Chains A and B, each alone.
Chain A
Amino acid sequence: MRMFATIAKLLVKRVITAIPILLIVSALLFCILRILPVDPAAMSLPPNATVEEVEAMRKEMGLDRPVGEQYGIWLGKLMEGDIGRSIHFRQDVTSLIGSTLPATIELAVIAMMVATVFGLAGGLFLFYVRGTRAEAVMDFFSILLLSLPEFLWSLFLLLIFGVFFEVLPFTGRLSPGFERPVITGFLLLDSLITGNLPTFFNALEHMILPCLALGIALSPSLMRVLRSSLLDAYQDDYIQQARLRGLSEKRILIRHGLKNAILPTLSLMGVQFGFLFGGTLLVEIIYSYPGMGNLMVDAIRNADLPIIQGAGLTYCVAVLVISIVVDSLYLILNPKLRVR
């Protein structure tokens, strides 16, 4: 019970501090994009529009008013959930983000799971072979893995499994001809809810390559952090004391070593997950995956300000949410933060 109270306290505190952060980010987004030498009014009209037509459009869009007032209006609409209309796609930004965000979240979450599995397994293995000749070999490979970025993995995996062996699909979220249920927007979840197993498995197949690429790229740093925090934990007296009480090495590792070593690994995972939201961009492009990354690239290419603003804010909210989740997990796992 006490744990829930502490976490509730943390949540309240973090939500309160999130408000000024969001205000500052929104103001920054608004200002920077207003400074850009791009005229949204001219862009939303056909290229042969006259100067008068552009002026009329500027008035209609409110671009002739002072910047502060414009920000006020924009913020007011934002509160109502209206981020504006995309100039390029001619659709509400909210619905554009609403249809791409779940795809990216799905990608990021599964990629993080892959990274966690590889990272923990690799870290434990690195720790297990400590002090042996195998350690030097493993060390070499973990550095090799560390130095390969996710887009290279994307290309390797795509060429090997998609093009050469032709065993896995590598474009989009779903093959043509599959029914696409829409409830939450999360394709895997929705197909499970509706019991549409063919769609579920097809969508899962599409996720394998991009998630592997992201996960493999993230895992080496997790491995190395876990290994070094395990080594640190094993310097501590309680490990020696557990041995002297006759506990088995396996039990010492899992119950005593890993439980302490997981804490630094967890904070690294939090940071990585935050980066993953921006970092799926290249992978989404390579696999033509219809997520936030592709949307963002289109928006930037077309100077589609409302989308850029909306996506920027979404990113900020996502990072805040992730950090709150990680901090709560930290509270659960580290009693020093929880009880005094």
Chain B
Amino acid sequence: MAILSAKNPILSAQNLCVESLGAKESFPVLTDLNFSLEPGKILGLVGESGAGKSMIGRTISQYLPKGFAVTKGTLAFDGEDLVSMLPERRRSLLGRDIAFIPQEPLSGLNPVLTVGQQIKEHLLRIGLAPGENWRERALKEFEAVHLPHGAALLEKYPHQLSGGMCQRILIAMAFASRPRLLIADEPTTALDVTIQARIVKLIAEMQKRDGTAVIFITHDLRLASQISDEIMVLYAGRPAERGPAKQLFSAPAHPYTRCLQLANPTISGPRRGLFILPERMPGLRVLKELKGCRFASRCPNAVEACTEIEPPLADIGPNHIAACIRTEKTPQIVPPPLSPGREIASAKVHLNGEKLTKAYTTAWSPFAKRSAFKAVNSVDFTLGEGEFVGIVGESGSGKSSLARLVVGLDTPTDGRITLAGRDVTSNGRSEKAYRRQYIQMVFQDPQSALNPRRRIGSIVTQANEASGLHTGARERMDRAAELLKEIGLPPDAAMRFPSQLSGGQKQRVNIARALCTLPRILVADEIVSGLDVSVQAQLLDLLLKLRDEHGFSMLFISHDLSVVRYLCDRVLVMYRGKVVESGETETVFADPQHPYTRSLLAAVPPDDVNTEWSPVAAEAGYQIE
């Protein structure tokens, strides 16, 4: 087994084990972690949620969840063991030598303090040069992260700023002390693609300036391969593969890495099917009893030997190791062909929007003039039978506002909506009832969209209550069983509560609920964002399968262009309430006409690691911030 040792590592882990110690039983969270990180290098940590990526960051800070503890091994920062060092010593390192950038920039700042108060607190703690004024220093740090109007920014509160600006402030704070180690935990997951690109480039730029070593945690293998020097893929708390980023991405040795890669839809080249990783990662509780390779139950290449012994990390190439006994078979894992039945040729138009406009006016006040803001501005679109149409754009572009107009949650201030030949613009009582038969909406966050106090069986058949048909308990249970079967959940799920399901299962229930009364049109608002790529692939294929069975059409809103490219026949690109480009998905993405579409596409990390990712060049003139 190769222990990768660098000359003077800034961070090195040796046989690091973290366990959750319960009163009755304890189970492993991280197992036998070995790695070292040299100054100035970026290590990408990749894996599904629950793989233990964030736990590494928490182990470094030693702010572990209750009951979790390091049970074996060492984790040394510049030669000092972080685990055994005095808490006071560790605290003095945090914020000075070891800095963190959080996942949610908006909630990472205190809402009741101004930006100035917060950066002042931090600057005073890390110490200023003699005679240096905190304000001047703060402005200097803001300038370094390309934040304009620094002086005005100091007076602002976090809620007055966008997510991207908050993240820049947090990055400025993190780099203010010229830290030697930075841990960035999914720093761009909550942001738009274009902003993600800029933030990632900014972290790389700052990291180069100070020679900081970075641990970059992400669920996006493609993104990690673009920014990192080295990548470590974690599976169920154990490293599956580790190697130089480009090499690992272009020739993954571990089947898990390969499967993750193939589960993610591409942004360029011919469209391919998605590899569907079955089930999900084994939970922490089962790991203890699990024999052999932890990935074996989901691995397409697994043979009997895989379930007998846990494969050691073995050398694959220079600095490249993988925990698999059949690495030579990994390249044989290929994506399935594109699901058939995608060509649904029908000229029949279901839904038609003409010059749709939704203007919001500010609330009446005796002190200010009312002003209007057009969230949706004169949008024309059609949706044919069986057609999936994607709507892409940054947040604030009017995607969700358009969806609300379509499902009738809002009434347009101008324009016309026709649904199956009937004008439903006025959105009166009878239009609403008519619309309900045709359109159902799937919401983004299943966590809050599903009533936690109702059983799944009653949630998925909720639409029966509104329609007043088939409301008998017996009928509803029968319908629930059918729906659960269609979305691939066991029948006994009907009696469970949402809290007993995983995130992906909840989103399936969310989809099943919309399908209950067999609507002709689904409106889906960001329904796969925030999910693991494996779960995302399962859901995308579920939607395609359901379309084959029921022939519904869908408006699919997403900020993820590769998902839209995989799923949708046509695409609308929205910018500031207007549709700036539309057409066949493949045509639009292969040959974008509008500069805004080009900047969106350029912001997506390319499929090929050797293609240079240059998101900043294309975006000139189209900046929201």
Residue of B nearest to A235 (CB): B107
Q: Does A255 contact B (CB under 8 A)?
A: yes
Q: Does A245 contact B (CB under 8 A)?
A: yes
Q: A241, B94: Cβ atoms under 8 Å? A: no
Q: B107, A237: Cβ atoms under 8 Å? A: yes
Chain A residues with Cβ below 8 Å from B148 are: none
Chain B residues with Cβ below 8 Å from A90 are: none
CA distance A262 to B330 in the complex (A): 57
CA distance A255 to B120 in the complex (A): 13
Chain B residues with Cβ below 8 Å from A246 are: 91-96, 125
Q: A240-B63, A240-B102, A246-B93 are in contact. Are A335 and B112 (CB under 8 A)?
A: yes
Within 8 A of B (CB), among A245-276: 245-248, 255-256, 259-260, 263
Chain A residues with Cβ below 8 Å from B61 are: 243-244
Partner of A336 from the list B100, B102, B157 (CB cut-off 8 Å) is B157
Chain A residues with Cβ below 8 Å from B63 are: 240, 243-244
Q: Return the CB mask of A322-340 against B: 1 if under 8 Å, else 0.
A: 0000000000011110011
Chain B residue total in the interface (Cβ 8 A)? 32
Q: B125, A256: Cβ atoms under 8 Å? A: no
Chain A residues with Cβ below 8 Å from B331 are: none
CA distance A335 to B157 in the complex (A): 7
Q: A260, B112: Cβ atoms under 8 Å? A: yes
Partner of B110 from the list A131, A260, A339, A340 (CB cut-off 8 Å) is A260
Q: Does A238 contact B (CB under 8 A)?
A: yes
Q: A244-B63, A255-B121 are in contact. Are A333 and B95 (CB under 8 A)?
A: no
CA distance A91 to B423 in the complex (A): 73
Residue of B nearest to A2 (CB): B155
- Chain A nearest Cβ from B176, distance in angstroms: 10
CA distance A175 to B107 in the complex (A): 57
Q: B112, A241: Cβ atoms under 8 Å? A: no
CA distance A325 to B158 in the complex (A): 26
Residue of A nearest to B60 (CB): A244
CA distance A334 to B110 in the complex (A): 11
- Of A131, A246, A248, most buried by chain B (CB within 10 Å of CB) is A246
Q: B111, A244: Cβ atoms under 8 Å? A: no
Q: A245, B102: Cβ atoms under 8 Å? A: no
CA distance A238 to B118 in the complex (A): 11
Residue of B nearest to A244 (CB): B100
Q: A244, B160: Cβ atoms under 8 Å? A: no
Q: Does A133 contact B (CB under 8 A)?
A: no
Size bracket, chain A contacts: 20 to 34
Partner of A248 from the list B91, B109, B122, B156 (CB cut-off 8 Å) is B91
Q: With contacts defined as CB atoms under 8 Å apart, how many contacts are there between chain A and chain B in the complex? A: 73
Q: A241, B108: Cβ atoms under 8 Å? A: yes
Q: Does A236 contact B (CB under 8 A)?
A: yes
Chain B residues with Cβ below 8 Å from A335 are: 111-112, 114, 157, 159
Q: B159, A336: Cβ atoms under 8 Å? A: yes
Q: A245-B122, A245-B125 are in contact. Are A238 and B111 (CB under 8 A)?
A: yes
Q: Does A9 contact B (CB under 8 A)?
A: yes
Q: A247, B157: Cβ atoms under 8 Å? A: no
CA distance A236 to B158 in the complex (A): 14
Q: Does B19 contact A (CB under 8 A)?
A: no
Q: Is chain A's interface secondary structure helix, strand, loop, or mixed overall?
A: helix
Q: Does B104 contact A (CB under 8 A)?
A: yes
Partner of A247 from the list B109, B112, B125, B156 (CB cut-off 8 Å) is B125
Chain A residues with Cβ below 8 Å from B96 are: 246
Q: Does B364 contact A (CB under 8 A)?
A: no
Q: A246-B95, A256-B110, A335-B159 are in contact. Are A241 and B100 (CB under 8 A)?
A: yes
- Chain B nearest Cβ from A174, distance in angstroms: 44
Q: A259, B91: Cβ atoms under 8 Å? A: no
Chain A residues with Cβ below 8 Å from B104 are: 237
Q: B112, A245: Cβ atoms under 8 Å? A: no
Q: Does B113 contact A (CB under 8 A)?
A: yes
- Chain B nearest Cβ from A313, distance in angstroms: 28
Q: B159, A9: Cβ atoms under 8 Å? A: no
Q: Does B173 contact A (CB under 8 A)?
A: yes
Q: A244-B63, A246-B125, A256-B110 are in contact. Are A339 and B160 (CB under 8 A)?
A: yes
Q: A247, B95: Cβ atoms under 8 Å? A: yes
CA distance A240 to B159 in the complex (A): 19
Q: Return the CB mask of A214-255 against B: 1 if under 8 Å, else 0.
A: 000000000000000000000011101111111110000001
Q: B92, A259: Cβ atoms under 8 Å? A: no
Chain A residues with Cβ below 8 Å from B92 are: 246
- Chain B nearest Cβ from A163, distance in angstroms: 48
Chain B residues with Cβ below 8 Å from A236 are: 107
Q: B157, A339: Cβ atoms under 8 Å? A: yes
CA distance A247 to B572 in the complex (A): 47
Partner of A259 from the list B107, B109, B113 (CB cut-off 8 Å) is B113
CA distance A241 to B113 in the complex (A): 14
Within 8 A of B (CB), among A293-340: 333-336, 339-340
- Of B92, B99, B108, most buried by chain A (CB within 10 Å of CB) is B108
Partner of B107 from the list A238, A242, A255, A336 (CB cut-off 8 Å) is A238
Chain A residues in the interface with B (C-beta under 8 A) = 9, 131, 236-238, 240-248, 255-256, 259-260, 263, 333-336, 339-340
- 8 more CB-based (< 8 A) A-B contacts, given A9-B367, A237-B102, A336-B159: A241-B100, A241-B108, A242-B110, A244-B99, A245-B100, A256-B110, A333-B112, A339-B156
Q: List 6 A-B contacts (CB under 8 A).
A: A236-B107, A237-B107, A244-B99, A244-B100, A335-B111, A335-B157
Identify the 3 closest CB pairs spanning chains A and B, nearest first.
A246-B95, A246-B94, A245-B95
Chain B residues in the interface with A (C-beta under 8 A) = 61, 63, 66, 91-96, 99-100, 102-104, 107-114, 121-122, 125, 156-157, 159-160, 170, 173, 367
